[in-house]
Amino acid sequence: MAAVAIFSSNLHAALADPCAVPAEAGENVTIAGKSGDGHILLADGRRIRLAGVDLASLRLPDLAGTVATLVGSATPDRHGALRGALYLEGRDLVADLTARGLARIRPSAGEEACYTELMTAEDNARRARLGLWAEPGYAVADAATPEAVARHADGFVIVAGRVLHVGVTKTTVWIDFGKIWREDVTLAIPAKQWPRFEATGLTATALEGSYVRARGVVTMRDGPRIEITEPAAIEQVAPVSP
């Protein structure tokens, strides 16, 4: 249970109450270890994919033998893993890892997570250069510099910059960071998902001219392009150094 104590000591400063889970919620499980691809292994043989986190960035400590509360899907995904959250003494494991710079947040469809609190914890860890944030490969890329974003082609990246233009078409909403869309960095949001963004205040009017931090997988199509389907993947932030 020593691992639980270590996590709990950091969580109270990192999280707000909305991320807490009642002790009676979920299912008590015992952690057996971790797999090479970032999944958590349970003593009963099940595999857990933690919701809201980029598995490639996950730096899991040794939690073997730790009792936790599992809250999530009862049906395995196509990789045979259950998607959900693990709580140690009522607090979110992902939130603690994020606050310590041991995980990077990656919003995904169908996953429930306290993204506001998680993004705050991640930003604090990044500013303090904790854990993975001390590594150059995890630095936030300048959205105004296509070359900086292109280095992460086919990989997950966080970019930051000022939005120059938002174009709304029948199929796609384009968020441009440069004047030459065939060369510069662009965020692409499927039009059918756009109402969900507007519902959170991320309207074309609000975004145009604002400074944002966004995250997703980079593809090279008329310049670096990041397709975004989850509103939590775009943050309006103060125009400070990434």
| Distances 84 to 16, 111, 188 between C-alpha atoms, Å | 19, 7, 27
Instruction: Report pLDDT for 78.
Output: 85
Q: What is the mean pLDDT of residues 225-236?
A: 97
Q: Where are the domains of the chain?
A: 2-133, 140-236
d(CA 94, CA 85) in angstroms, rounded, equals: 8
CATH code matching the domain that covers 2-133, chosen among 3.40.190.170, 2.40.50.90, 3.40.50.360, 2.30.30.240 = 2.40.50.90
Nearest alpha-carbon partner for 195 in 160, 168, 156, 155: 168
**Model confidence over 164-217: pLDDT tens digits?**
999 999 999 999 999 998 899 999 999 999 999 999 999 999 999 999 999 999
CATH number for the region 140-236 comes to 2.40.50.140
Q: What is the pTM of this model?
A: 0.86
- Specify the amino acid at residue 99: A
- CATH topology agreement for domains 2-133 and 140-236: yes
